[in-house]
Structure 1
Amino acid sequence: MVVPSAGRIVGISGNITRPSKTRALVETIAAAIGERHELAPHVFDLVDFGPSLGAATSLAGLDAHGQAIVAEILSADLLVVASPIFKGSYSGLFKHLFDLLDPASLAGKTVVLAATGGSDRHTLALDHQLRPLLGFFMTHTIPTGIFATAADFIDGKPASAGFRARLDLALADVDRLLTPPIPSTLQRQTRKTA
């Protein structure tokens, strides 16, 4: 059970249909982080935006519900961002959502990158597609990306041993970014002499 706190995780899944392996992946990752850090996860996918997303040429072009989702994304303390990978890249509508955002709007946010694909041939999309996109927005993407294929899913949820191992590595990365750093020797000495 997630204990609500001031912090929030927002998951963004680039799927355009439901049910979706990509959304299940985002929900699983966000829930695991939420349990460890007492952050309340909220997950959205492109379906949640409705038809206004595809027609919008600016954030003002989104309907009220779409604008509320963007406000949730912009106010998040941590983002879990994932897309299904089609022919080596994220979906066009997923990219369109990011095209609507101001370049400085996500600066400094911690981001977990994830993706689903039909085969392991798509794993490099995490580092060659998603990481540069979120790097443009000046986010702190954790080193470990989480990629899953159909073989990683059991009863509609990512649960394979390989997935669990990748999730554990990602959680350790998140722990390092969300845990307050240990004061340096200089800071400790300064406190003693003050």
Structure 2
Amino acid sequence: MVRALRIVAVSGGLQRPSKAAALARHLMDLITSEMACEPHLIELGALTPAMAGCVWRSQLPVAVERALALVEQADVLIVTTPVYRGAYTGLFKHFFDLVHQDALIDKPVLLAATGGSERHALVIDHQLRPLFSFFQARTLPLGIYATDQDFVDYRLQSQALLERARLAVARAWPLIRLSAPVAESVVAPIQAFRAPESITA
């Protein structure tokens, strides 16, 4: 039996609900609407108490280790983070500091971020892209940056942003299909898809 595409979205948002998590879920839904997937959403804010004070991976509780394993075993990653002081959150960086340095080699990664205004839009190219270049991941060509004005009640409402998200996923399809366990065998009706699983503490 052919395994479905493992798609894992990681949100660096510290609060719940979170605009970063909403953006991650939307991007994941765009992919799962076209291809049978095993989707997972990891909300790092929910793991904060479990990660606090852990310097080494051997110190981590089961919930965090499970989240790291999902990232390392993913076929495709989506990463989103709020912007704080011009960069990704410290919790986001701490989590990826614990990922094995060879685990993401050649893995497609769709980059996204949220911020209070457009002034932080370059965080994708100046902060996120270099981080995943270290891992030798394949960062996808078009990133998605959303401001507070793009959301209403933590739902994406901006037509311009929704169109950019669709374009980003459309341009990602060649790499996503190459990452599928057996590319020709994973296409399935939309009604067969599973709802995204959320990782909590």
- TM-score of Structure 1 vs Structure 2, range by shorter chain: 0.7 to 0.9
1-side partners of 2:144 and 2:152: how far apart? 16
Amino acid at match of 1:21: K
1:178, distance to aligned residue in structure 2 (A):
2.3
Map of 1:9-158 to 2, 5 A cutoff? 9-158=7-156
Query: Given the alignment of the two structures, is residue 166 of structure 1 paired with residue 134 of structure 2, yes or no?
Result: no
Shift of 1:40: 2.4
Q: What is the alpha-carbon distance in structure 1 between the residues aligned to residue 164 and residue 52 of structure 2? A: 33
SS of the residue corresponding to residue 33 of structure 2 reads: helix
User: Which letter does structure 1 place at the counterpart of 2:72?
Assistant: L
Q: For residues 19 and 48 of structure 1, what CA distance do their matches in structure 2 show? A: 10
Q: Distance in 2 between matches of 1:150 and 1:40?
A: 30
d(CA) in 1 for partners of 2:48, 2:97:
17
Identify which range, 155-164 or 73-82, moves more after superposition. Answer: 155-164
The whole-number CA distance in structure 2 between the counterparts of 1:41 and 1:154 is 25
- Aligned-residue CA RMSD (Å): 1.5
Name the SS for the 2:112 alignment partner: strand
Q: How far apart, CA to CA, are the structure 1 residues paired with 2:132 and 2:157? A: 26
Stretch moving more, 169-178 or 112-121: 169-178
- Retained in 2: the 8 A contact 1:5–1:38? no
Amino acid at match of 2:52: G
Aligned residue pairs total 177
Question: Any stretches of 5+ residues in structure 1 without a counterpart?
Answer: 181-194
1:50 shift after superposition: 3.8
User: Unaligned 5+ residue runs, structure 2?
Assistant: 179-201
CA contact (8 A) 1:52 1:61 kept: no
Q: TM-score normalised to the size of structure 1?
A: 0.86
Q: CA deviation at 1:88?
A: 1.1
What stretches of structure 1 move > 4 A for 4+ residues in a row?
none
2:23, 2:156 within 8 Å by CA — same for their partners in 1?
A: yes
Partner of 2:176: 178
Residue 61 of structure 1: how far off its partner (Å): 1.4
Partner of 1:187: none
**CA contact 1:154–1:160 (8 Å) conserved in 2:** no
Q: Is the 8 A contact 2:4 2:36 kept in 1?
A: no
- CA drift of 1:5 comes to 5.0
Q: Deviations over 1:98-129 (max 9, x none)?
A: 11122111111110000000000000000000
TM superposition score normalised by structure 2: 0.83
Letter paired with 1:127: D
